[in-house]
Chains A and B, each alone.
Chain A
Amino acid sequence: VQLVESGGGLVQPGKSLKLSCSASGFTFSSYGMHWIRQAPGKGLDWVAYISSSSGTVYADAVKGRFTISRDNAKNTLYLQLNSLKSEDTAIYYCARHTMGITDYWGQGVMVTVSS
């Protein structure tokens, strides 16, 4: 199982960014997936979930600004981040989920929101 995030970087407040998570080593279409973030030196903060059938759930802090999606043909998970705020600065991890078990995590990608 391998999960590799990409697309992070430095972005100004109010701007947008799209993260990707490339999955390999398992049948991607059969698993739900999470995005989880960690602000520098802080704890873990669940962001969003997409089921294998593409149902979605969001944390209140990102609802209406972030969109989670998936492309099973490309074995890729996405997170569209709009209207970014300084408090969105964090390492963003994608993680695999099945039957209540969030097991494998990617190494994370850094998003910095600053002017």
Chain B
Amino acid sequence: DIQMTQSPSVLSASVGDRVTLNCKASQNINKYLNWYQQKLGEAPKLLIYNTNNLQTGIPSRFSGSGSGTDYTLTISSLQPEDVATYFCFQHNSWPLTFGSGTKLEIK
């Protein structure tokens, strides 16, 4: 199984900061990597699919990059409504696997 490791597990930043969340796969996942945002008590929401494709309706301050085993989600200017847990998800091979999440907080 492909293990997905996210770092950091908790990130505290100020409004307006540029923040970067990391996701590392235990093997090459060929850019088949999605990012989800989950706010407290809500279902996950798709932000980015296949590494760098912004889902319709998602603000342009969110972007994704990466290749091989290393991927990042960047928020260019953190907003209060971005407080949430962010999960990466590989769909390169079965079984599909999620990272353990990065909890993003506002300082």
- A residues whose Cβ falls under 8 Å from a Cβ of B: 34, 43-46, 49, 57, 59-60, 93, 100-108
In contact, A60 and B87 (Cβ under 8 angstroms): no
Least CB distance from A89 to B in Å reads 18
In contact, A100 and B44 (Cβ under 8 angstroms): no
> How many Cβ-Cβ contacts under 8 Å join chain A to chain B?
48
Q: Top 3 nearest A-B pairs by Cβ distance? A: A105-B43, A44-B98, A46-B96
Contact of A43 (CB < 8 Å), options: B45, B50, B87: B87
Interface pairs (6), CB distance under 8 Å: A44-B44, A46-B96, A49-B96, A57-B94, A59-B95, A93-B44
Q: Contacts A46-B98, A108-B43: A102 and B50 contacting too (C-beta < 8 A)?
A: no
Complex Cα spacing A105 to B37, Å: 12
In contact, A46 and B97 (Cβ under 8 angstroms): yes
